[in-house]
Structure 1
Amino acid sequence: MEIDLYEVNAFSHRPQGGNPLAVMLLDEWLGSLALQILASKGGKPETAFVVRRGEKCEIRCFSAQREIDLCGSAILAAAAVIMDFFDRRLRRMDFVHPQGTVGVWRHGGKLSLDLPQWTLKPRLHPGPTLAALGVEQGEVWQNRDIVVILENREQVAALRPDFSRLAKLPSPLVVVSASDGGQGYVLRAFSPAAGIPEDAATATAHCALAPYWANKLGCPHLHAEQLSPRRAEFECELLGNRVIVASQVLQVRHKLLTLPEGMNLPFSH
């Protein structure tokens, strides 16, 4: 059996940039084990599974090893696939995920994500985090993710983390950031516990970083650059208690994925 798989680069207009994802549309939900097996066969760091329910879509995202609660790249990629391949009239969509609802809308050549703001609290024991990153000093904060603030762009770019030590930290995602001067900041994100040593583009990092840097820099409109090997760029804006993250999306290709014999699954066509 062959199924449709869409490959998308989120948060970049370059073929080798942004976050490479796989998107699969289902008629109905499968069990978590079946979704995990499919994600491992998709050949991408993350796979988005979507079931359309009228005007809304339900979405779940998996890395090759585990489910991810909220993955902004997956939501952006799924919206791009549906808007480009299934209904070009759509300008806004709502995605229901395990942690709530995220809106996506298209304006011009960009897609925008409507994400929650997360408040950071100082992490009580910063030593293991700093040691895993190979740095001696830095602010260490915590919400869903561990967030580390360094002094400058060069420090973030030069990081050579110990992934085995990062994987033992209590948070599956560690985000490192610094001011980029003016009205912007840089970041890198590491998630070895989820099978992603370094994430190419991490939209949900801005749930915490955008409010933090808006307060530090005194500006609600921010440009962010992710210094992963593939690079990614984001435009962030604070609106009330939300963070609007805008970027470009590149549709890479559509292909057929061959399933193991006897694995019959309900996919949309």
Structure 2
Amino acid sequence: MKIKQYQVDAFTTRAFEGNPAAVCPMENWLDDDLLQAIAEENNLSETAFFVPSAKGFSLRWFTPVKEVDLCGHATLATAHVIFESLGFTESVITFETRSGDLFVKKQGNLLQMDFPAYKLTACEISETLVQGLGVRPLEVLADDDYLAVFDSEATVRAISPNQALLSQLDLRGVIVTAPGTDVDFVSRFFAPKIGIPEDPVTGAAHCKLAPYWAGKLGKNTLSARQVSKRGGNVTCEVKTNRVVLSGSAVTFMEAEIAF
């Protein structure tokens, strides 16, 4: 059996930057164990699989170790493949997902993703979190991830996490963030518990970051940069209980999986 696979760099206009995702178009769902095995073999932060559905496409995301409820960069990568490689002619793609219906609109050279907005709750600062990051945050909020807020972009860039300690935390991952020097805010994301020591650019994290910084800065349209080694830019617009994330993507590779 053979499956077409694309590798796409998301949230960038150039290859070798942004966040790489594998994208696999299929006519029907394969067994979940096989989907997970493909994601493990790819060893990228996310592999996206999609099939046609009544509304548009049904979309699922797998890390090397588990399926996840929401992934922004792999959604952007999938929309890029559908628009640029599969000849989709409508202006908006509807994805049916575990996080509800998601919408991606082509707007010039950008793809705009309409995602749910999440507001986190302030929590006590765990000493394991402090030791894992090597520096104490100004404040910490949480839902299924921790959001640790720092004073400066330089502090966020300098963090060298202890991945073993972070994997001991009770939540999925840790987002670190601070005001940016030439953007509204910067961030990084660590999730060793689900096989992602550091994600290059995390769309789902910006569904939490954007509402937080919109409240702090008093503005609903924000510029953001994830300051991982690869780096990537995200434009965020907060709309009540939704966040519109905009970015570009480039196809790095087209291949075929044979098994």
Range of TM-score over shorter length: over 0.9
State how far apart, in whole Å, the 2-side matches of 1:137 and 1:40 are: 33
How far residue 87 of structure 1 moved from its aligned partner, in angstroms, is 2.3
- Determine if contact 1:186/1:224 at 8 Å carries over to the other structure: yes
- Which residue of 2 is the match for residue 102 of structure 1? 102
Q: Which amino acid aligns with 2:209?
A: L
- Which residue of 2 is the match for residue 164 of structure 1? 164
- Determine if contact 1:138/1:148 at 8 Å carries over to the other structure: yes
- 1:10-49 residue pairs with structure 2 within 5 A? 10-49=10-49
How far residue 196 of structure 1 moved from its aligned partner, in angstroms, is 1.0
State how far apart, in whole Å, the 2-side matches of 1:188 and 1:84 are: 29
- Which residue of 1 is the match for residue 113 of structure 2? 113
- Which residue of 1 is the match for residue 133 of structure 2? 133
Unaligned runs of 5+ in 1: 260-269
Q: Which amino acid aligns with 2:234?
A: F
State how far apart, in whole Å, the 1-side matches of 2:207 and 2:146 are: 12
- Determine if contact 2:39/2:47 at 8 Å carries over to the other structure: yes
- 1:200-239 residue pairs with structure 2 within 5 A? 200-239=200-239
How far residue 130 of structure 1 moved from its aligned partner, in angstroms, is 1.6
How far residue 181 of structure 1 moved from its aligned partner, in angstroms, is 4.8
- Which residue of 2 is the match for residue 264 of structure 1? none
User: What percentage of aligned pairs have identical amino acids?
Assistant: 34
| Change in 2 beyond 3 A, CA 1:154/1:182 | closer
- Which residue of 2 is the match for residue 83 of structure 1? 83
State how far apart, in whole Å, the 1-side matches of 2:182 and 2:225 are: 13
How far residue 117 of structure 1 moved from its aligned partner, in angstroms, is 1.2
How far residue 182 of structure 1 moved from its aligned partner, in angstroms, is 7.3
- Determine if contact 1:73/1:203 at 8 Å carries over to the other structure: yes
- Which residue of 2 is the match for residue 245 of structure 1? 245
State how far apart, in whole Å, the 2-side matches of 1:72 and 1:42 are: 18
SS, match of residue 35 in structure 2: helix
Structure 1 residues 147-198: Cα deviation after superposition (integer angstroms, max 9, x where no partner): 0000000000000000011111112221000011576100000111111100
Q: Which amino acid aligns with 1:246?
A: S
How many residues are treated as equivalent by the alignment? Answer: 259
State how far apart, in whole Å, the 1-side matches of 2:82 and 2:217 are: 37
State how far apart, in whole Å, the 2-side matches of 1:206 and 1:41 are: 27
- Which residue of 1 is the match for residue 68 of structure 2? 68
Structure 1 residues 21-73: Cα deviation after superposition (integer angstroms, max 9, x where no partner): 10011212122211101112234221001011144211111111111111011
Structure 1 residues 80-115: Cα deviation after superposition (integer angstroms, max 9, x where no partner): 111112224121111111121211110000001111
Higher deviation after alignment, 50-59 or 123-132: 123-132
| Change in 2 beyond 3 A, CA 1:183/1:221 | farther
State how far apart, in whole Å, the 1-side matches of 2:49 and 2:146 are: 26
SS, match of residue 17 in structure 2: coil
Q: TM-score, normalised by structure 2?
A: 0.95
Q: Which amino acid aligns with 1:28?
A: N
- Determine if contact 1:183/1:221 at 8 Å carries over to the other structure: no
Q: TM-score, normalised by structure 1?
A: 0.92
SS, match of residue 111 in structure 2: strand
State how far apart, in whole Å, the 1-side matches of 2:18 and 2:73 are: 9
- Which residue of 1 is the match for residue 8 of structure 2? 8
- Determine if contact 1:130/1:138 at 8 Å carries over to the other structure: no
Structure 1 moving runs of 4+ over 3 Å: none
- Determine if contact 2:183/2:225 at 8 Å carries over to the other structure: no
State how far apart, in whole Å, the 1-side matches of 2:183 and 2:251 are: 29
Unaligned runs of 5+ in 2: none
Q: Which amino acid aligns with 2:79?
A: A
SS, match of residue 37 in structure 1: helix
